[in-house]
Structure 1
Amino acid sequence: MKNQDHSITINGVPIQDEDIEYASRSLKAASHPLRLKIMCLLENTEMTVQEIVDSVGTTQSNISQHLGLMRDKGLLSSHRVANRVYYRLAESRRALLRACSSLK
């Protein structure tokens, strides 16, 4: 009997269990409607917390909590300019957003 290889691959690249866990945590973090809305806002631009607040219409505190979680889960990256923090969609997560946007 032939020994079968049961490894998981995407486009021929082996995927490890820790990669699956990381992707699962990212998907859970993105699944909240407000967080998905923020990801859509940041698809092609970067914004400050206040700009995001103005766009989605909730409190600064609420947005800050979501942004912190999203940054911790690798969905967003940020950088500081003077006293403002700018957020953008992490490059590695653009494919996730594109996959979500194709769902009807």
Structure 2
Amino acid sequence: MSTASKTRTLSDEELDRVAQQFRLLGEPMRLRILQTICKKPLTVNEIVEATGATQSNISKHLSLLASSGIIRREKNAQFVYYSLRDPMTMKLCELVHGKVSEKD
């Protein structure tokens, strides 16, 4: 049975929100950040060390990801920890990777 028959039609507003999420996930550094924080919450400095990017670059991407709701910020004493809000985000990345790998 086709999955198309089970899929409901999205409104223009819903399609815009979905497209925005894909645009956010379309940046390799953001995916690298998500991959870095998917196992445990990390601070900006830990993310910088793990990715090799600059602190200002990481901060910019973290701000975008947090404001979109993809990641969360949690303050603990003087540190702010970043983590995935929903593990389904990484599952989506794995699904896309699986399809891309099939074409190789």
Amino acid corresponding to residue 22 of structure 2 in structure 1 = L
Give distance in 1, aligned partners of 2:91 and 2:43: 23
Where does residue 83 of structure 2 map in the other structure? 88
Return the index of the structure with the highest Cα Rg.
1
- Give TM-score, length-normalised by structure 1: 0.76
Greater strand proportion: 1
Could you list the structure 1 runs, at least 4 aligned residues long, displaced by more than 6 angstroms after superposition: none
- CA distance, structure 2, for counterparts of residue 10 and residue 43 of structure 1: 33
**Greater share of helix:** 2
Q: CA 1:13–1:44 in 2, change beyond 3 Å: closer, same or farther?
A: farther
TM-score between the two structures when normalised by the length of structure 2: 0.76
Equivalent residues in 2 for 1:1-104, closer than 5 Å? 11=6, 15-91=10-86, 93-102=89-98, 103-104=100-101
Alignment gaps of 5+ in structure 1: 1-8
Contact 1:79 1:87 in 2 (8 A): yes
Q: Contact (CA 8 Å) 1:75, 1:89: kept in 2 or not?
A: yes
Q: After TM superposition, give the deviation of residue 14 of structure 1 in Å.
A: 5.8
Cα shift at 1:59: 1.2
Structure 2, unmatched stretches of 5+, are: none
Q: How many correspondences in the alignment?
A: 96
